[in-house]
Amino acid sequence: MKRSAMYASIFQAGLILALGVGAGPAVSATTSRASIEEPLFAPPLVPPAIHRDHAATVVIRLRAEEKEMTLADGVRYDFWTFNGTVPGPLMRVRQGDTVELHLSNDAHSHMAHNIDLHAVMGPGGGAAATVTPPGQESVFRFKAMLPGIYVYHCATAPVPMHIANGMYGMILVEPPEGLPKVDHEYYVMQGDFYTTGENHAPGLQSFDMQKLLAEQPTYVLFNGREGSLIGDGALHSKVGDSVRLFVGDGGPNLSSNFHIIGQIFDDVNIEGGSLINHNVQTTVIPPGGATMIKLTTQVPGTYLMVDHAITRAFMKGALGQLVVGGAAQPQLYQRVNAPAAHVEDMQMKANDPMSIGKRVFTQICSACHQGNGMGLPGAFPPLAMSDYLNSSPKRAIGIVLHGLHGKITVNNTGYESQMPVFGGQLSDEEIAGVLTYVLNSFGNQGGTVTAAEVKAERAKAVP
Ligand code: CU
């Protein structure tokens, strides 16, 4: 079947399904005098806390938009979105508010779309009242009766396809007294994606219905793109700061086993409700579920956020970074190199560039470039037998110091990944060590980078 014909038949099926469950009485789309419009932000940003002491009518405008975007470096995909992002914006309202939701559907859409908000008590969570053909707009009102963090998603048939293409997001209903104050709030949503090509097959990829039916995603991603929360997209905090994460799972199929390597969650709202658990390592979030996580960042460093069904993190993309700045906290965390009897030997050994380099490589570089230096096809370039590295080892100093963006070619393969900035995190000795280690490992040609060379490069203006 041609794609346009398939869309047309799915479109009809969607209308029939959604209209069959009772749309409720129509209301006029005029907004009441006291209505307000809360700002919306692209993920991982979150609207500011609400400071109103009364309920209001809140107008929220969402637009269904079918849009080709990057799924992974070198991989494009026809996403279906709310407001052009995956997930759609996090809406923030207060318990008791009346939400007037305007759902428009882009004139260029091929499909009808609607919205089911789990914060709604009413038929289809709003789906029945919001079936919206291309170029039109639906409006419905609901009262946000119970506080919590809720998923919303498109519920037009075939529902799994609309969700798999990215049509989900979250709505926070704050209790009247608000949420406890924190220093940072972020919005992360996991989803599984099904492409006809294999993982990292380049170019524009189509949706694969067979993989969806088998529940075997090609990608499992945070915020709809591999690397969306890595490097420039990383979440940030400082030593001693508190962080609240609104974490949801759009699915359509896989639960998330959300974990941050090297952190313990102070508070987790169980299943996004009012019951709070403490001291949690990994929290399970089902498709169509969400939670609030509060943690305190106590030790500086780069922490990996993962689905701890860990193959999904390191092989299918469910990987992000939380970067914690601030001074070292040796009373909380420090490396102890060796048993006392061999301290002197080991200190000498631990201070040689190759040992420093191996430690840095293992702790940091291997997360992306892999323990064997082979990288990940399409995502992270290899350091092993790398023509890019061996042709100019000194160039690598600046890359580690300042990061790297844009396209590079390594061993005849193009990469467009984002190398994070490590200049603030690693000393001259550590950068010299890790480059020397890599140059003398993984089949590379050998060579040395000295701390003095790193220091000189660091002294230059940042490019
Ligand atoms: Cu849809």
Beta-bridge partners for 169: 152
Q: Which of 402, 375, 67 is nearest to 232 (CA)?
A: 402
pLDDT, tens digit (0-9, with 9 covering 90-100), for 345-374: 555 566 788 888 988 898 889 888 888 898
Peptide bond into 87 cis (omega under 30): yes
- Report the separation in Å between the CA atom of 76 and the middle of ligand 1, taken as the mean of its atom positions: 19
- Which CATH architecture does the domain made up of 340-459 adopt? Orthogonal Bundle (1.10)
Q: What is the pLDDT of residue 345?
A: 55
Residue 149: pLDDT over 80: yes
Q: What angle do CA 399, 401, 406 make, to 5 degrees?
A: 35
Between helix 428-439 and helix 353-360 the angle, nearest 10°, is 90
CA of 3 to the centre of ligand 1 (A): 16
pLDDT > 90? residue 8: no
User: What pTM does this model have?
Assistant: 0.71
What is the pLDDT confidence band of residue 462, given thresholds at 50, 70 and 90? low
CATH tag for 186-325 (out of 3.40.50.300, 2.60.40.420, 3.40.640.10, 3.50.50.60): 2.60.40.420
Q: Which residue has the tokens 């000498």?
A: 348
On average, the pLDDT of the chain sits at 89
Q: In angstroms, what is the span from residue 88 Cα to ligand 1's centroid?
A: 12
Task: Compute the distance from residue 63 Cα to the ligand 1 centre, in Å.
Answer: 11
Asked whether this chain's domains 3-180 and 340-459 adopt the same fold, the reply is no
275: closest CA among 148, 118, 90?
Answer: 148
Cα–Cα distance, 133 to 127 (Å, whole number):
13
Q: For residue 148, how many other CB atoms are within 10 A of its CB?
A: 21
Does 2.60.40.420 match the CATH number of domain 3-180? Answer: yes
CA–centroid distance, 308 to ligand 1, in Å, is: 29
Task: Collect all residues with Cβ–Cβ distance below 8 Å to 344 and sequence separation of at least 6.
Answer: none
Task: Using pLDDT thresholds of 50, 70 and 90, give the confidence band for residue 108.
Answer: very high
CA contacts within 13 A on the Cβ side of 291? 25
For residue 163, report the distance from its CA to the centre of ligand 1, in Å: 7
Q: Which of 142-156, 206-220, 439-453 has the lowest mean pLDDT?
A: 439-453
Residue 268 has a pLDDT of: 98
Q: Is residue 336 predicted with pLDDT exceeding 80?
A: yes
Evaluate whether 376 touches 200 at the Cβ level (below 8 Å).
Answer: yes
Question: Does the pLDDT at position 10 exceed 50?
Answer: no
pLDDT at 461: 66
pLDDT band at 6 (very low <50, low <70, confident <90, very high): very low
What's the gap in Å between 129 CA and the centre of ligand 1? 14
- pLDDT of 326 > 50? The answer is yes
Indicate the domain borders of the chain: 3-180, 186-325, 340-459
Beta strands in 177-326 (DSSP E): 184-193, 203-205, 219-222, 235-238, 242-251, 256-260, 265-269, 276-280, 282-285, 289-296, 301-307, 319-325
Q: How far apart are CA 73 and CA 387, in angstroms?
A: 20
Higher pLDDT, 35 or 290: 290
Predicted pLDDT at 346: 53
Question: Between 16 and 403, where is the model more confident?
Answer: 403
pLDDT in tens, 386-421: 999 999 989 999 999 988 888 899 988 888 877 888
| Bridge partner list, 283 | 258
Higher pLDDT pick, 11 / 36: 36
pLDDT tier for residue 189 given thresholds of 50, 70 and 90:
very high
Task: Look up residue 301 and give its amino acid.
Answer: G
For residue 363, what are the CA distances in angstroms to 261, 437, 445, 458?
12, 13, 23, 22
